[in-house]
Structure 1
Amino acid sequence: MDFHCHLDLYPGAREVYREAAKRNEFTWLVTTSPKAFAATSRALEPSPTVLMTPGLHPEIAHERAAELDLLLEQIAGAKAVGEVGLDGSPRFRAHYEVQRRIFSAVIARCAEVGGRALSIHSRRAVRDVLAELGRNPNFGTAVLHWFSGTPAELRAAAALGCWFSIGPAMFDSASGKALAAAMPRDRVVPESDGPFAKIEGKPVMPWSESQTAEGLAPLWRLSTEEAASVLAQNGRALLKLIGR
């Protein structure tokens, strides 16, 4: 399974999509903008093992802010939403208020339509993400993708009921390993974040769950097989929340 993947952005995307649909029990294809979601939905044949969702990535929020109304329309007919969120890193800080306006509208819309699962970007913005979720308690289920906050922020996110999607690239740093080890074990699911996430310069592929299990096993003091079993069990529990 892969709970956060930009399947439409790989080189040779159609072939990668077909392979993922065949290999994986489930792949969550997150999109970066409402128009990208519409285009991807037209370009790729639907698959029972792939969930395509509308989103508006915070890194391009200032460029695509005019698409917000379209996103709010798309949310009504979607089982889940992503990628959405906030990015407070220096490169995108100048557009933070635009990001906040969009994210606030998305979370409010999810609550309005009965709750949705969301794949959420929270780089250097965890407190604001959690505050927005807290203001809309009926928003649904938050899956924090590639979490990189502080240990205190991780505890706050866990207390709020958040899930966490992590991939092989997270184990490249000591801080990433420490955060992965501290996450609630029953709310961790695999992701690739391909093709953006890379290992040794190559994009992580959507069928990388076994690599995530290998990375988690020593942190959880389990065998790789046991870690893989936990991830699979968690993934199926999250799929029920998504409505798959």
Structure 2
Amino acid sequence: MMDFHCHLDLYPGAREVYREAARRNEFTWLVTTSPKAFAATSSALEPLPSVLITPGLHPEIAQERAAELDLLLEQIARVKAVGEVGLDGSPRFKVHYEVQRRIFGAVIARSAELGGRTLSVHSRCAVRDVLAELKRHPNFGTVVMHWFSGSLAELKAAAAHGCWFSIGPAMFESANGRALAAAMPRDRVVPESDGPFAKVAGKPIMPWNAIRTAEGLGPLWGLSNDEAAETLARNGCTLLRTMDRG
């Protein structure tokens, strides 16, 4: 199993969950919410070959952590992937949207300057602006749209731009989420948990619950659960090769 977007450091009993994810999963992408969180998490958790820890600056806390941007740009030079970064244009966070845009623009420009990175990108109510920033820096690398929630037209535009999509069990809880998942390019979808924030039946999704993503996708794609799981595994291996090249 694989998990391409997980806040492993934020689970209760994080060290135990971290070790269990490393034991159960072939690969887990631990995204952090700020440059200082990345530094602290990297120091606190023992390096394990199946877990990738990456620096990020979550758009929901852009205003609070804007002073850490220079640190993030330094960290990006030492890693092959970045996350979580992006834009959030929802009403609660739109008040600091210009700060978000400045940070995200700098991250994409830095990634392009360094020859490309794989980025886990948050795009709630901001897909068009995310894509516009990517177009300004065509050598940015590869973007994985985390828990995509835009329109079908925006999904088509993101797919045309070469974006990947990471989706988890919580996405199938809504009709819109199911419709988006059904329309995603099947060769560019990988599993995620987004735990501990994402929940099903009130319980956080665990990093080793990728099989639930396959179970959600199977009926939408007209595949058996096993076939959907095989597709996700194949896609995951392809994306990992892309990340290694970056």
Deviation at 1:76, TM superposition (A): 0.2
2:66 equivalent in structure 1 = 65
2:115 equivalent in structure 1 = 114
Note the 1:217-236 alignment, pairs <5 A. 217-236=218-237
Note the 1:205-224 alignment, pairs <5 A. 205-224=206-225
Question: Partners in 2 of 1:197 and 1:79 — Cα distance?
Answer: 25
Q: Structure 1, unaligned stretches of length 5 or more?
A: none
2:129 equivalent in structure 1 = 128
Q: Any idea what SS the aligned residue of 1:243 has?
A: helix
Question: Partners in 2 of 1:119 and 1:76 — Cα distance?
Answer: 16
Note the 1:1-244 alignment, pairs <5 A. 1-243=2-244
- Alpha-carbon deviations, 1:108-163, whole Å to 9, x = none? 00000010000000000000000000110000000000000000000000000000
User: What is the letter of the counterpart of residue 63 of structure 2?
Assistant: H
Deviation at 1:36, TM superposition (A): 0.1
Question: Partners in 2 of 1:181 and 1:150 — Cα distance?
Answer: 13
User: What is the letter of the counterpart of residue 76 of structure 1?
Assistant: A
Question: Partners in 2 of 1:158 and 1:181 — Cα distance?
Answer: 13
Q: How many pairs were matched up? A: 244
CA RMSD between the two structures: 0.5
Deviation at 1:49, TM superposition (A): 0.1
Percent identity between matched residues is 81
Q: Any idea what SS the aligned residue of 1:82 has?
A: strand
Question: Partners in 1 of 2:240 and 2:209 — Cα distance?
Answer: 18
Q: Any idea what SS the aligned residue of 1:90 has?
A: coil
User: What is the letter of the counterpart of residue 227 of structure 1?
Assistant: A
With the length of structure 2 as denominator, give the TM-score of the two structures: 0.99
Deviation at 1:165, TM superposition (A): 0.0
Deviation at 1:26, TM superposition (A): 0.1
